[in-house]
Amino acid sequence: MGRTGRAATVGRPIRLVIFDCDGILVDSERVAVRVDVVVLAELGWAMTEADVVERFMGRTDADMASQIEAHLGRPLPANWEEPFQPLYRAAFETELKPVPGIVTALDEIATVTCVASSGSHERIRYTLGLTGLYHRFAGRIFSATEVAEGKPAPDLFLHAAKRMGVPAADCVVVEDSRYGIEAARAAGMRAFGYAGGLTPRSWLEGPGTVVFDDMRDLPRLLGSRYSDRS
């Protein structure tokens, strides 16, 4: 289990749980990374799935495009993603499911929750809708497109906390990427790193962070005695 939940439940009460979307709520990372490898090869950049995870997972689409342009030494056309969208949609519509254990966890968590993702609002609505989770977060969804800097900058998580009316110190972030965990720490929030996906545990470990492997353990780690729906 790595570190226990004790570090995350002492001190200030938890009043807001901020969930990343991809890899935390929807099991999209495995599907998307596989398609990313195909797309990058078509563009002229041969990468393995491990390379994609290390370089891009948790970052915004704009950051990914910027890195591709730097590697290729030329700008991408404005609509460069368009021809590849059917690949992602076909894969998601046949394979996408909620992350194992997340539905059970959400049913048990009494604390107020929201979503803060590097994806666009359109993508978040699409993937949460496909997996039947959208209704659980409708009206409490925040995208990196709303802030100046995406993860690992703290902007998105601070924006979500402000919009939800909760001080950063009373928030926790549930993330599965190194960049997301770094963003949570930079925001002064406690972090829960989910190591049941593609990210190596060692990339998530560090100060102020509880690393766990099973989503069904999350309610216990959060500590239900600190729930606050007000």
Tens of pLDDT, residue by residue over 156-199, are: 999 999 999 999 999 999 999 999 999 999 999 999 999 999 89
Amino acid at site 11 = G
Report all structural domains of the chain as residue ranges with CATH numbers, in order of start: 6-27+96-226 (3.40.50.1000), 29-94 (1.10.150.240)
What is residue 60's predicted lDDT score, i.e. its pLDDT? 82
How many angstroms separate the CA atoms of 200 and 128, rounded?
25
User: Average pLDDT, stretch 70-83?
Assistant: 92
The model carries a pTM of 0.84
Q: State the average pLDDT over residues 45-60.
A: 89
pLDDT at 214: 97
* DSSP letter (8 states) at residue 151: T
Separation of CA 211 from chain center: 15
CA gap 196, 215 in Å, rounded: 8
Cβ atoms within 10 Å, residue 48: 10
* pLDDT at residue 3 tops 80: no
Asked if residue 10 has pLDDT above 90, the reply is no
